[in-house]
Amino acid sequence: MHSCAVRCCDDQRKQPRMDNVQSCIDDCAIPLLKAQDYMQHELGRFQIQLQRCVMQCNDDARSLIPNNTNEADMARFRNQFERCTIQCVDKHINLLPNMMRAMKSVLATGPNAMRHA
C-alpha cells in the first residue's frame, strides 16, 4: 500500500491535481481495507460461535435447576456449567490453527478472494 501511495505522489507530475493524487492513494488502500474487513469478519464469526457454545452451556445448566434447589445442588450445576464452558473453549482453541491457515491462504490470494457473506 505504501509503495503504491509513493508512486501516486511520484506521478504527481502527470496528475498535478491534489484530488487525483488523493484518489490514487485511496485506491492503494483498498486491498488493505478489504483484508482488514475480512479479518474482522472471520474473527467476529469465531467469537460468535464461542459465545453461542457458552450460552448453550448456560441454557443447559439452567434447564436442570429445579425451583427448590439447595446450595449443594447449585454448586453441582455451576460445576457442570464450568465443565461445559471449558469444553467450548478447548474446542474453539483447537479450531484456531485451521482457521489461521485458511485466513492466511485467503489473504495470500489477494483482495478479490476476501469476500464474505
**Can you give the residue ranges of every domain in the chain?**
1-109
pTM: 0.74
Rounded CA gap, 102 and 50, in Å?
18
Tell the residue number behind the cell numbers 434447564, with chain if given: 63
Question: Tens digit of pLDDT for each residue in 78-100?
Answer: 999 999 999 999 999 999 999 99
Check: CB of residue 117 under 8 Å from CB of residue 48: no
Q: State the pLDDT confidence band at 13, using cuts at 50, 70 and 90.
A: low
pLDDT at position 14: 63
Q: Which three cell numbers stand for residue 107?
A: 489473504
Is residue 23 within 8 Å of residue 84, measured between CB atoms? Answer: no
